């Protein structure tokens, strides 16, 4: 009983404090505490988010964290939502009021981030999977790519990140970090130039297959732009996959030779 009442005391204090703050702000020019937060914090943040440089910086931090084994997407997710979701709302409101797609106020938005800042998952790993399946000869790499291909289409890339692996992999660090940055730039330039229409602000659920999510968010042009971004990622990954594959083939050959020698020793009882 004592514990129950002890829990009520901080709840009553918190509620009373919130009522007092709300009452006090009713006498200010802001009208309410929520309007105060919007004008003081949200509006300046929205002006920051209008710059493609700010999104590139966020994605860069995300990918550096991923490289060191920290779930960068979760770390920056709250910032992305706070900065860019209001821009989706603005686009949706403008579209509902009759504004043409080409004249919508924002290029960048949360849906833009979801669609282009790493297609197939952090690091744009759908491109990596494609390159491995087309060019790699290493059994391990091809096995990981085969297992990762279908999840990658649904933006689930943990199998390739931890299976290849990409974490703390110095050979793959450059394309792993740069690919989503390049994909963001390619998408931004395509929309900024008017080649592809601006996004309507529709929020496509996470896990919707790649290309279908682009079609739902902005039509066939956006889906085609995703294909272009994937191809750009492939070009970045190709030289590094070749270096990685060469090293893995050497390791696999040495392991196979050691296995043959072990079998020979077991069969003859003598060192060959």
* Tens digit of each residue's pLDDT (9 = 90 or more) over 175-188: 999 999 999 999 99
- Cβ–Cβ under 8 Å, residues 104 and 196: no
pLDDT at 272: 44
Residue 223's pLDDT band (cuts 50, 70, 90) = very high
- Residues 14-34: pLDDT tens digits? 777 878 877 787 777 777 766
Per-residue model confidence (pLDDT) at position 7: 58
Those residues whose C-beta lies under 8 Å from the C-beta of residue 92, and which sit 6 or more positions away, are 200, 201, 202
Greater model confidence, 1 or 196: 196
Confidence of residue 37 (pLDDT cuts 50, 70, 90): low
Query: What are the sequence ranges of the domains in the chain?
Result: 35-268
Measured between alpha carbons, how far is 79 from 55 in angstroms, rounded to an integer? 10
What average pLDDT does the segment 74-91 reach?
Answer: 86
> Which residue's structure tokens are 């829990």?
7
Higher pLDDT, residue 267 or 97:
97
Nearest-5° Cα angle at 115, 111 to 120:
145
Q: How far is CA 65 from the centre of its chain?
A: 12
User: Does residue 155 surpass a pLDDT of 60?
Assistant: yes
Whether residue 240 contacts residue 175, with contact meaning beta carbons closer than 8 Å, is answered with: yes
23-37, 123-137, 228-242, 258-272: least confidently modelled range: 258-272
Does 213 have pLDDT greater than 90? yes
State the average pLDDT for the chain. Answer: 85
Whole-prediction pTM: 0.77
Does pLDDT of 130 surpass 90?
yes
Cis peptide before 165 (omega within 30 of 0): yes
Between these two residues, 85 and 102, which has the higher pLDDT value?
85
CB 183 within 8 A of CB 124: yes
DSSP annotation of 30: S
Mean pLDDT calculated for residue range 206-222? 91
- Residue partners of 77: CB distance under 8 A and separation at least 6: none
Question: For residues 46 and 162, which has the higher predicted lDDT (pLDDT)?
Answer: 162
């Amino acid at each position: 009983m004592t514990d129950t009442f002890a829990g009520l005391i901080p709840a009553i204090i918190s509620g009373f404090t919130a009522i007092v703050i709300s009452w006090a702000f009713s006498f200010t020019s802001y009208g309410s505490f929520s309007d105060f937060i919007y004008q003081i914090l949200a509006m300046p943040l929205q002006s920051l988010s209008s710059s493609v440089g700010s999104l590139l910086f966020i994605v860069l931090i995300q990918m550096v964290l991923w490289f060191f084994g920290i779930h960068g997407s979760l770390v920056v997710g709250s910032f992305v939502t706070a900065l860019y979701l209001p821009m989706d709302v603005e686009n949706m409101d403008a579209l509902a009021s009759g504004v043409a797609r080409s004249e919508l106020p924002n290029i960048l938005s949360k849906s833009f981030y979801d669609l282009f800042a790493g297609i197939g998952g952090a690091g744009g790993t759908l491109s990596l999977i494609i390159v491995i399946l087309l060019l790699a000869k290493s059994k391990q790499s091809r096995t990981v790519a085969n297992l990762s291909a279908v999840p990658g289409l649904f933006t689930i890339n943990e199998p390739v990140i931890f299976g290849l692996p990409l974490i703390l992999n110095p050979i793959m660090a450059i394309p792993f970090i740069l690919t989503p940055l390049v994909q963001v730039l390619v998408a931004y330039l395509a929309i900024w130039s008017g080649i592809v229409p601006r996004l309507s602000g529709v929020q496509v659920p996470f896990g919707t297959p790649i290309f279908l999510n682009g079609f739902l968010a902005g039509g066939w042009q956006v889906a085609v732009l995703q294909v272009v971004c994937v191809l750009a990622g492939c070009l970045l990954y190709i030289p590094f996959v070749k270096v990685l594959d060469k090293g893995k083939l050497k390791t696999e050959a040495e392991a196979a030779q050691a296995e043959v020698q072990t079998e020979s020793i077991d069969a003859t009882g003598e060192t060959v």
